[in-house]
Structure 1
């Protein structure tokens, strides 16, 4: 790690030394004080952060030792559950002692066990903590606020005192804060800014089973810090539904499990009826459940859109007096607090929730769960270049966790809105395997240690694409090291594309416009096409709708609520940039596109010379417009959203760009050079003088010269275009490749290279291009030179293994060596190898010949003396015993000059006819 711990150390904002500690123990409607140090069971006690003063109050509900009991009793207005009421309570001493002996721990505890709120409190007085802070990672903002509030209430304190939280655009902490609940991006910034974490004694990763990318990154960074800088830093991974054994092995940590306290939950399935929309299905199932079962109901839906639709259906269908509530991450804090508290008047409740209610938050009184079986989770969307939320089926672990919410207070019922026959994936797939990794690649470049180890490694292809994008954004240099621009982008805490755009504003007005675009790109489309009106693919139309909304005029095709959310998000970005400028009321023609070009440098497009609806993109691909596109005719555009298709991508959203601005910003991307290309019509190489902007060919003219230094690359490119069949294959070489592929499939432990068409084409520059050196025509490549290049992919030892394990020929009892035919199926698997041989050549052979060290028997095609098939078998002994007598009877008269002995076991094998006179 390229950091100096001393340079990262920060001064403590609160003293860690005091002679005596005063403690206040809170329980329902009771309180007791102690004048000396902490007792065991730290969950029950709140340490004072300053030396005690007689009778003084340190904050709401936090009392220093006093001889006046009435002062203490008067502060017991808040009733909270006693920590001993939580199922995890008996395990807390073992957790504390385990961390005293080992700096890492994996803790498994079912929902409702109390791990989120009781474990941090239990660790507060651990001797190894030494008065330092505990930082707990909570994946969701709702859960972070809820956990901090609950712990503060247990201590009789307010949020921001001993317990605080930090989430995006919001924080409540103070100098007194000892437990800090943070969301995932916050933890990453803490580790990047101060790897030593001198004032932090423990990092707790709650709900790790959700496997968010930022959570995986945070744990990998923390593990690296612990190994290289802070051996005393404690790491605790907590979850309800986690592959604990695998994570504990990866982390080299002890593993503890807590038994939950739950009531039985009856699970039934209520699949949708034919053509029944989800909101109608929810209404039908929920109304019946409320009439049949007691308690409140919790309905899991994918997102806000589905919650709004279900709410519209339920408002008139629910029994009178039932309170209908929503719970999702975008709710105001007071609305979230209201949902998480019991109804003051005792009314029944129905809560429509996203998967924020799946873990870490407790909804009192729920005995009915209605589960849609769906969730919105991030998936990389190549259309937009970002990870977008998509509706996907939940895992079995999530379904079990959701059902468990019905059994927290009493026996309950879980109604699943999918057929019982439908099988779910056992565990949620980690985000690292299915989202855009540009932000991760930038974080790793800033960390400076490429050997960082993850629970699941990032896919190589996705990381390669991320590095390519970051280099286009000037966030990484050619060596892959982070640039100064990349560090500034990282500090903004958003996707690198958006960060590049936010940094691109030349003045206050430009930066404010970038904030608007950032909010628009992160949000759902605020425009809905009106019947009969053409679709709009212009980003400008969205921004103009936002400007009109701010002026008090909402366009008829715009959604007012969506524009309000976008306006609020843009305001948050202006505050994040410390920008005092008001949002602009108008923008020049190319202003939006010029800013978007910084976010999408790979999607800048130039109009095709012969087709005004087609554009060459700077990433080398082509894109087309809708026939009625408002961008038609623009010479330069930038695409903020594309739908990728087999031939040309379809532009869904974009803006015009000023060429002069492109030349000012990126002069080095405009180049003119001599190139050698493959002309598919002439099937020959041609020399060209080419002008380019990145991957866009602006102009190309023949210059009549073929550069020998470029010819090999051009021929290699031609093979990529035309396919491998244009190369000079010989039958023996095709068989050799099939043999090598077969051995690779049969014996993967040998680690032979992949010789499939896809692999050979993908790597052709490394093995084929050198063979084209000195020639300028495809047909000038000799069969021998091609064979040498292909077989050179295997070293001498590997080629010998092919000859031994998949021989081209096999000796048969007649004394002849007969060829074995190898083939590869369309799916890439090897077909059974075939030995075609005359029946008389195998007399006396009982065992079926095999290859691959005896693993794969040959399929024997037994031929007549005329070479026609008689029988196909992989059981030669069975053929001689059961089938040969019938074959002999039929063939003896047809081929009398050839031997057909009654006893094939002891007859001499031969490839000839019988001698004359026999």
Structure 2
């Protein structure tokens, strides 16, 4: 069949088609950048078909866009779907032997490559809407580049994008030609808010107000509104109900296909389409002249530390806002209303994060292991730490061996269209687990109905009032498909709770002590649930859905599991361990023998004969938590050591001392059991042992620890200030006519002279000067307060003393 290269309805992309055809002929690779509405999705594959040997495979990020793009191209050719143009999505295909252009969702390419890396019969792969930077698109491009470099130098690659910094992509694929289409089908006027929206106004109310403004100011054309999710769509829908002459059409990914098609089809009167980001790309909604952008987008964020994802609502990026704006200019000149000021736009990020930067990398880690290489040419390489966490999970599921290579079990998991957790459950438990796998892979069909997972399983067979019927039907269809994929079970006797525990071995929760419904999870994190729910009193649960809070996640779905069920499933991973640890709560060392599954303590008893070293190490952990107990004597010693310190002496700051405590402090902790005992520890002798005899002798000579008074009493010297200092009774220095000094450097001592009542009366660095000048005034004041103590007129000629006069003298 001959495909026409001139089309009856010209589009901006037509201007660059010749340059694109020439680039693909010359180099076999190119990057095409075209703004929204240029027509690249439905025009380019048809334009390149005549020069491609074999089939063209075009990747789309969403199922709705996949069907729509294929239908539009088939309609252009005047053919039914499944002839020259077809499509394939999970569980559905419309192709034939005559199909030359196959539009597929992105994961299809990965499965094709893993099945046969040479991709027989494929001449060109087109990565459409690559600016969305989905994980599957990044992986597909990396694999395709490997295949082109090693197996198929004739394989052509084309990356198409609307809003993307395209130069790095062109460099990644071998400095491929970068072709840019500057045109847009029709101009779009942008209207910003004159001032930020009222902070007290709910987001949906602000959007509804902007919609009404748009309907009044632009009297013709349909309106497309962008909102972050179904909840916001339903609330705006409720606020706009009853608007005369307006047909309201929701549009989001979880809808039935027929309802999605209704949103795309023409309507009687004026149409208001309330859509998620599903409408940003690859869709033409006939009649849309106005876009209202609420300015928010919902993304999944994965926290490797907790092993959980959470959906977060964030401000859109400039690239996303541009994509949305372009929807208004596809069929006629349009207007885009933005729920933010022009000034606020300057603070918006340029592009959304690539999914590989924010997603759960467990599926990617499994694909890389199946491929046999980790170091692929990714535009954004996966974070090593997050990838390592994913590999650890796969190892725990038995998908990877000790060296990180894929196991036979891992290959079985990779063959299933599920997250590796759910695939592991399905392979072990067999067809009986298919409904649970399909349920856990879908959105919640009983939103707001509590956390009981079993209630949702029952709803698949008998939906209660308020259940999401279309979601339940999708679960049923998918469950039947999955059951056919695993006809035999390795463990056919498992309960639903045990099946869930297979998928989430790190999310088995043991209730904490106390009245509040709180659990410690086997992976070490915490979880909680609102009080009063049917599961809130359960001792053991499997949390199948958590909100992702890294400190204490809220349980959204769970199932109770008995200890007998847990032991039957994980007998090989439950073991007695001897634990000697510091208890922050009790403030003491606890030595216990514990029967553990991960972080869960199923049983516990006292360990009476714990080794002294283990006890000391636990006490050291306590010391690190409460900090070093600096007595006055220990502080003075550290100050002396710092003054005498040589180049090769150890550092004596708290952080270094705690870091190296195993080397110098551990031997002194063997008998310490409580916080009280740790705080009473005198660090003087441990510090002397750390410094060593030779260095201490040097310190004593250079920076003595005490000053000997004329009476032979040793007074500690404090070296923390500008001068070494002592505190001493005034009478004890009678007869001293030269100011005392200390050490080889003969540093003068700062002397605080004390009254008989141990109160300071004078501070001096010149004792002879004090005797000659200030003493007379001090004597006059002190004689009345302390008449029984000697106050000679000439203190330099008096004998030092600490005695008082006998009574009556």
TM-score by length of 1: 0.65
Q: Of 410, 427, 431, which residue of structure 2 is paired with 1:486?
A: 410
Deviation at 1:571, TM superposition (A): 2.7
Q: Of 239, 245, 249, which residue of structure 2 is paired with 1:313?
A: 239
Deviation at 1:449, TM superposition (A): 0.1
Structural mapping, 1:384-403, within 5 Å:
387-403=309-325
Identify the residue that residue 542 of structure 2 maps to in structure 1. 638
Structural mapping, 1:752-901, within 5 Å:
777=670
SS across alignment from 2:379: coil
SS across alignment from 2:169: helix
SS across alignment from 2:126: strand
Find the aligned partners of 1:209 and 1:685 in 2 and give their Cα distance. Answer: 55
Deviation at 1:573, TM superposition (A): 2.4
Q: Do structure 1's residue 144 and structure 2's residue 66 form an aligned pair?
A: yes
Find the aligned partners of 1:721 and 1:139 in 2 and give their Cα distance. Answer: 50
Identify the residue that residue 212 of structure 2 maps to in structure 1. 287
Find the aligned partners of 1:430 and 1:787 in 2 and give their Cα distance. Answer: 54
SS across alignment from 2:283: coil
Change (3 A) 1:615 1:361: closer
Q: Do structure 1's residue 696 and structure 2's residue 618 form an aligned pair?
A: no
Find the aligned partners of 2:248 and 2:42 in 1 and give their Cα distance. Answer: 27
Deviation at 1:607, TM superposition (A): 4.0
Structure number with larger C-alpha Rg = 2
Q: Of 239, 247, 258, which residue of structure 1 is paired with 2:169?
A: 247
Q: Of 154, 157, 165, which residue of structure 1 is paired with 2:79?
A: 157
Find the aligned partners of 2:586 and 2:212 in 1 and give their Cα distance. Answer: 72
Cα deviations by residue, 1:248-293 (Å, 9 ceiling, x for unpaired): 2233322111122343322112454464344443443333323332
Identify the residue that residue 660 of structure 1 maps to in structure 2. 564
Aligned residue-pair number: 664
Find the aligned partners of 1:235 and 1:519 in 2 and give their Cα distance. Answer: 37
Q: Do structure 1's residue 23 and structure 2's residue 2 form an aligned pair?
A: yes
Identify the residue that residue 566 of structure 1 maps to in structure 2. 472
Identify the residue that residue 496 of structure 1 maps to in structure 2. 420
Deviation at 1:687, TM superposition (A): 5.1
Find the aligned partners of 1:624 and 1:311 in 2 and give their Cα distance. Answer: 33
Find the aligned partners of 1:785 and 1:645 in 2 and give their Cα distance. Answer: 47
Runs of 5+ consecutive residues of structure 1 not aligned to the other structure: 1-21, 26-42, 45-80, 530-535, 582-586, 736-754, 789-835, 839-864, 868-918
Identify the residue that residue 272 of structure 2 maps to in structure 1. 350
Q: Does the aligned pair in 2 maintain the 1:686–1:706 contact within 8 Å?
A: no
Identify the residue that residue 202 of structure 1 maps to in structure 2. 124
Identify the residue that residue 454 of structure 2 maps to in structure 1. 540
SS across alignment from 1:666: helix
Q: Does the aligned pair in 2 maintain the 1:299–1:352 contact within 8 Å?
A: yes
Cα deviations by residue, 1:669-695 (Å, 9 ceiling, x for unpaired): 111233443466898866543321222
Find the aligned partners of 1:434 and 1:221 in 2 and give their Cα distance. Answer: 21
Q: Does the aligned pair in 2 maintain the 1:383–1:641 contact within 8 Å?
A: no
Find the aligned partners of 2:689 and 2:320 in 1 and give their Cα distance. Answer: 57
Deviation at 1:605, TM superposition (A): 2.4
Change (3 A) 1:412 1:770: farther
Structural mapping, 1:493-642, within 5 Å:
493-505=417-429, 508=431, 510-515=432-437, 518-520=438-440, 522-524=442-444, 526-528=446-448, 536-549=450-463, 554-555=464-465, 559-560=466-467, 562-578=468-484, 591-608=495-512, 613-642=517-546
Cα deviations by residue, 1:466-500 (Å, 9 ceiling, x for unpaired): 22322232222333222222222222222222222
Q: Of 187, 191, 194, which residue of structure 2 is paired with 1:264?
A: 187
Q: Of 93, 99, 112, which residue of structure 1 is paired with 2:24?
A: 99
Structural mapping, 1:93-132, within 5 Å:
93-126=18-51, 129-130=52-53, 132=54
> Over aligned residues, Cα RMSD in angstroms?
4.1
SS across alignment from 1:197: coil
Q: Which has the higher contact order (CA 8 A, sep 6+)?
A: 2
Change (3 A) 1:490 1:710: farther
Find the aligned partners of 2:157 and 2:203 in 1 and give their Cα distance. Answer: 42
Identify the residue that residue 799 of structure 1 maps to in structure 2. none
Q: Does the aligned pair in 1 maintain the 2:418–2:441 contact within 8 Å?
A: no
Find the aligned partners of 1:768 and 1:164 in 2 and give their Cα distance. Answer: 69
Deviation at 1:522, TM superposition (A): 3.0
Q: Does the aligned pair in 2 maintain the 1:383–1:642 contact within 8 Å?
A: no
Q: Does the aligned pair in 1 maintain the 2:59–2:104 contact within 8 Å?
A: yes
Deviation at 1:457, TM superposition (A): 1.9
Q: Does the aligned pair in 2 maintain the 1:688–1:705 contact within 8 Å?
A: no
Change (3 A) 1:367 1:637: closer
Change (3 A) 1:721 1:205: farther
Runs of 5+ consecutive residues of structure 2 not aligned to the other structure: 644-652, 673-680, 693-720, 724-747, 751-809
Find the aligned partners of 2:373 and 2:270 in 1 and give their Cα distance. Answer: 54
Identify the residue that residue 169 of structure 1 maps to in structure 2. 91
SS across alignment from 1:231: coil
Deviation at 1:188, TM superposition (A): 1.6
Q: Does the aligned pair in 2 maintain the 1:505–1:514 contact within 8 Å?
A: no
SS across alignment from 1:23: coil
Deviation at 1:212, TM superposition (A): 1.2
Deviation at 1:709, TM superposition (A): 8.3
Q: Does the aligned pair in 2 maintain the 1:370–1:415 contact within 8 Å?
A: yes
Q: Do structure 1's residue 221 and structure 2's residue 143 form an aligned pair?
A: yes
Identify the residue that residue 674 of structure 1 maps to in structure 2. 578
TM-score by length of 2: 0.73
Q: Does the aligned pair in 1 maintain the 2:542–2:558 contact within 8 Å?
A: yes
SS across alignment from 2:342: coil
